[in-house]
Structure 1
Amino acid sequence: MKYCAFLRGVNVNGTSMKMAEVIKVFSDAGMKDVSTVLASGNILFSSDEKPSELKKILEKAMSHYFEYEAFLFLKNQDEIAEILNNNPFSKADDLHIYVFVGTEGSENILLEEFTNAKKAANEKAEIVENTFYWQVPKGSTLDSSFGKILGKKQLKDKISSRNINTFDKIFIKLQ
């Protein structure tokens, strides 16, 4: 089965890693056909292991090699396609669309935080099939009240986000 591992907190806050080293860690942990998309911790690979086992194996390998507490979230090829197909927002030049991957139920925590946050014009959020989508005007991501919430420590092991365009690139490379 083909997967994408979404690493949390890569190349931010002092956690620096070269993607060539990440590829080596995944390969040494038994993953096949390992490659990356962008330098933000999107690792494509193949494995016959169960997703729950993969998560344990890869988090342990990454934590050991890079000496940090690794968090990653896995989606298989079909789940990536489903995420793209379920996007509730239309792409526009002046808007970003983010997709959040995370632990079960994290989408509900995100929606509650979003509901309570002050919103910019055209800032919207929606859950579709247990996936949280966030639309925000370009240039407002970090200034957004909701955007600031995303850095909370209690969310660090629960979620990771990517721009919808990154999901497009991942899906193309998984084909």
Structure 2
Amino acid sequence: MKYCAFLRGVNVKGTNMKMADVCQVFKEAGMQDVGSVLASGNIVFSSDQNVADLKKVLEKAMSDRFSYEAFLFVKSHDETEAFWLGNPFDKNEDFHTYAFVGADGVENTLMDEFEKASKTENEKAAVINGIFYWQVSKGNTLDSSFGKILGRKNLKDQFTSRNINTFEKVLKKMGS
């Protein structure tokens, strides 16, 4: 089955790695058809293992190889496609739209935090089919109080986010 592993915290805050090296780790861990999409830690691969086992095996392999506490979320082709298709926001060149890949139920935690946060102009969030989406004006991602919440250490193993366009690129790499 085809999967994408969405890694958290890659090539930010001192955790730097080349995607070729990450792909090699996946190959050494027994994954097939391994390839990367962008430098933000999106690794497409094939495996017959179940998702829970893949998560454990790949997090350990990444942690061992790169000497950091790795967190990743493994999604099937259909699950990855749901992120792309579920986007509730119209395309607008003035905004970034992010979708959040994470642990079961994290969308509720994120919506609670979003509702408590002060908002920048036209900042929006929605939960569609269990996926949290966030739209923010370009240039305000890091200025948003919600944007600051996303870096909390107590949430680091709960989710990672990607610009919505990344899902389209991942799907193309997966062959759809």
Shorter-chain TM range is over 0.9
Deviations 1:64-112 (A, max 9, x none): 1111110000111011111111111111000100000011111111000
Q: What residue identity is the alignment partner of 2:169?
A: K
User: How far apart in 1 are the matches of 2:70 and 2:83?
Assistant: 24
1:18 aligns with 2:24: no
SS in 1 for 2:127: strand
Q: What residue identity is the alignment partner of 2:39?
A: A
* Structure 2 portions without partners, runs of 5+: none
Aligned length: 175
Q: What residue identity is the alignment partner of 2:128?
A: V
SS in 1 for 2:148: helix
Q: TM-score, normalised by structure 1?
A: 0.98
User: How far apart in 2 are the matches of 1:33 and 1:108?
Assistant: 34
Structure-1 residue corresponding to 2:99? 99
SS in 2 for 1:147: helix
1:136 aligns with 2:142: no
User: How far apart in 1 are the matches of 2:15 and 2:151?
Assistant: 15
What is the CA-CA distance between 1:122 and the residue it aligns to? 1.3
Q: What residue identity is the alignment partner of 2:7?
A: L
Structure-1 residue corresponding to 2:116? 116
Structure-2 residue corresponding to 1:153? 153
What is the CA-CA distance between 1:168 and the residue it aligns to? 0.8
What percentage of aligned pairs have identical amino acids?
62
User: How far apart in 1 are the matches of 2:82 and 2:13?
Assistant: 31
Q: What residue identity is the alignment partner of 2:160?
A: S
1:61 aligns with 2:84: no
Deviations 1:90-146 (A, max 9, x none): 110001000000111111110000000011121100111111000001111000010
Moved over 2 A (4+): none
* Structure 1 portions without partners, runs of 5+: none
Deviations 1:7-41 (A, max 9, x none): 01001111111111101100000000000000010
